Every structure is written in C-alpha cells, then in structure tokens.
C-alpha cells in the first residue's frame, strides 16, 4: 500500500504532490488528465485510483463524493474548500457518508498553488479531531518552507475555507465596480464576522476563524490577483456576465456553487450572512452589483 496519494492533478493537487516529494515522500498522483506542470521523479502519475495509507483529496468540492466512492485509503484528508450543492454538507461530512469509519482531516490555509510549486514560504493548517492524524500529515508534508500547524477544530477550518470563496467574490466585485479600498476592507472585515457566526453555530471555535484557515485564507483570497473567486467578482463588478466569465475558464471557481449551499446551511441554524446572500443574489441574476451594495449599506444600523 502506498504511503501517500494525492487525488486530483489540478493546480492544488499538483502542488501538494510536489510538496510531498519535497518532504521526501514517494507519491502517487491520480490524474484524469496530465498534471499541471512538471512533477519530480518521486511522483508517479496514475489513471486508476490507488490504494493508499493517506490520501489527500484535491478534487473540486462538487466532485468529492463521486471520486471518494472509489477510493481505498485508511486516512482521508480533504484538501478542497466548499459546501456540497444539494446536500449542503461540508467535505468531512460527505466523506463520513461515503466512507464511514475512516480517519479524516482537512488541510486548509492561505496557499496559492503556484507559489507552493515554486517552493516559496507558506503555512497551512491540518485540522483533525485525532492528534495522530495531525502528526502524520505534518510528517508527510511539512518542510521548513511549508509550515504546518495542527488544529482539533475541523469544523472551523472547513467553514473558513468554504465561506472565504464567497466573500472573495464580493471583494472582487467591489474593486471591479470602482468602489474603493475602504469598501473592500469593510466588506472583508464584516465577512469575517459572518464566517465566525456560522462556524460557532456549527460547533467550531472563534480562534480558528482568526487563524490561518480563517482570516489568513480570507485575506489572501480577497486581495490576491491569482484568486479565481476574486477575479470572478472583479469581472462581475466590471459588468461582465457570469455565463461569459465561466465560459472563458477551464478551472473551477468554487464560490459559485458554494454560495447557495452555504446560505442554506446558515439558514438551517438561524445564522444571518448578508454579504454571502448578496453574492448569491448577484450570481443568480436577481441583483446587480450596485443593487447588492445598496442593499448592504441600507441595512439597519447597529453596534459592531
């Protein structure tokens, strides 16, 4: 049985495979198509789902259930960020349904794939209830240039990773519409408050939202031009249609499918997420960017 397998050879899966090889591991990378970029000799690319001791699942969130159903692995680490459309489940909840009884965790944080591939300094969080899982993944992936922190709050880590994609669309729209940096800063800050409310309601902790998998990931995604979600929002703010933006892309923008699923999950626990709701309304064509911003600014004043 292979010690570590990376499932999915998109940008992030390829980056994780390269990082695992950099950490001295022999890696199997499962790919439907050729990996993005050159992989080192320690990475063996396969087309059939491998057996593995530890599997890093780097497929898009909306494909996680289908791919996981054919996987044989003792430990499953979700490396995708989002909420499953239809079920409104987080990644580890999907894995618990598909492959019950397995050890699980989530890898999250402020990481652009191309920078990890280039070996630039980065940090991430491995969140799992089981401390043994946290230690094992840190051993398999950690290097001096890729620092891994442990967390026993996988709920908070997953909510931070999912919701930041939606907030990033809003941040991009603000900049694209020419509304300024003040507006973006205010929106990102209030977006963090939304993430915190939902995380706490689902059993996560406030300090997780203030860490790498919350605030750190949010800052990167809402300011980095390489962010797919930010760039989609930027184009929306500049007047492009969602259909045209998506038609021009060959990669997944997770925030589009996550927005309605995240709102449904929030509604189920009575959490108000006005920024995410505004993004969902713009994506579905019920509001323009200008109308969404007006709706947010006209909300009843209250203390922070």
Per DSSP, the three-state class of 43 is strand
What residue ranges of the chain are covered by domains with CATH 1.10.1040.10? Answer: 154-297
In percent, the amount of the chain with pLDDT more than 90 equals 90
d(CA 84, CA 99) in angstroms, rounded, equals 16
Distances 288 to 47, 185, 239, 240, 264 between C-alpha atoms, Å: 43, 21, 9, 11, 21
Structure tokens at 116: 């990890």
Distances 56 to 5, 60, 72, 80, 86 between C-alpha atoms, Å: 6, 12, 12, 9, 24
pLDDT of residue 54: 97
pLDDT of residue 117: 96
**Is the CB of residue 147 less than 8 Å from the CB of residue 263?**
no
**Is CATH 3.40.50.720 the classification given to domain 2-151?**
yes
Interval 50-67 mean pLDDT: 96
pLDDT of residue 300: 85
- Write down the mean pLDDT value for the chain: 95
Judge whether residue 118 has pLDDT over 90: yes
Q: Given its phi and psi angles, is residue 107 left (phi above 0), alpha (psi -120 to 50 degrees) or beta?
A: beta
Interval 261-290 mean pLDDT: 96
Band of the pLDDT at 1, cuts 50, 70, 90?
very low
pTM above 0.75, yes or no: yes
As a CATH number, domain 154-297 is 1.10.1040.10
What are the pLDDT digits (tens) for 99-111? Answer: 999 999 999 999 9
Judge whether residue 48 has pLDDT over 90: yes
Question: Which of the residues 48, 51, 120, 164 is marked catalytic?
Answer: 164
pLDDT of residue 2: 55
pLDDT of residue 32: 86
Judge whether residue 34 has pLDDT over 90: no
* Active-site residue flag, 48: no
Q: What is the DSSP letter of 100?
A: T
Q: What is the DSSP letter of 226?
A: T
Q: Which is nearest to 42 in space by CA: 4, 12, 74?
A: 4
What residue ranges of the chain are covered by domains with CATH 3.40.50.720? Answer: 2-151
Structure tokens at 166: 């939606």
Distances 65 to 46, 83, 213, 288 between C-alpha atoms, Å: 20, 12, 23, 33
What are the pLDDT digits (tens) for 150-191? Answer: 999 999 999 999 999 999 999 999 999 999 999 999 999 999
The mean-pLDDT minimum among 115-119, 136-140, 202-206, 248-252 falls in 248-252
Beginning with the edge strand found earlier in the chain, give each strand of the sheet holding 27-30 in spatial order.
43-46, 27-30, 2-7, 51-57, 72-78, 103-108, 122-127, 146-151
């Amino acid at each position: 049985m292979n010690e570590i397998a990376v499932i999915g050879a998109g940008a992030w899966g390829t980056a994780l495979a390269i990082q695992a090889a950099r950490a001295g591991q022999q890696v199997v990378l499962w790919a439907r198509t050729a990996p993005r970029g050159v992989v080192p000799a320690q990475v063996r690319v396969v087309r059939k789902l491998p057996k593995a001791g530890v599997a890093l699942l780097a497929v898009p969130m909306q494909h996680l259930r289908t791919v996981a159903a054919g996987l044989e692995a003792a430990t499953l680490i979700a490396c995708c960020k989002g909420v499953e459309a239809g079920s409104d489940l987080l990644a580890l909840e999907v894995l618990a349904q598909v492959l019950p009884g397995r050890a699980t965790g989530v890898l999250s944080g402020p990481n652009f794939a191309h920078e990890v591939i280039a070996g630039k300094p980065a940090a991430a969080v491995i969140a799992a209830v089981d401390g043994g899982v946290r230690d094992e993944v840190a051993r398999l992936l950690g290097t001096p240039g890729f620092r891994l922190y442990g967390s026993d709050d996988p709920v908070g880590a997953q909510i931070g990773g999912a919701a930041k994609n939606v907030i990033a669309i809003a941040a991009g729209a603000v900049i694209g519409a020419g509304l300024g940096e003040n507006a973006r800063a205010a929106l990102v800050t209030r977006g963090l408050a939304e993430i915190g409310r939902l995380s706490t309601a689902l059993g996560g902790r406030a300090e997780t939202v203030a860490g790498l998998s919350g605030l750190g990931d949010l800052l990167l995604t809402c300011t980095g031009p390489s962010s797919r979600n930010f760039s989609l929002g930027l184009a929306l703010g500049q007047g492009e249609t969602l259909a045209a933006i998506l038609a021009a892309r060959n990669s997944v923008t997770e925030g589009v499918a996550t927005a309605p699923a995240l709102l449904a999950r929030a509604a189920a626990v009575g959490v108000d997420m006005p920024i995410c709701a505004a993004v969902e309304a713009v994506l579905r064509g019920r509001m323009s960017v200008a109308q969404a911003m007006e709706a947010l600014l006209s909300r009843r004043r209250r203390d922070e």
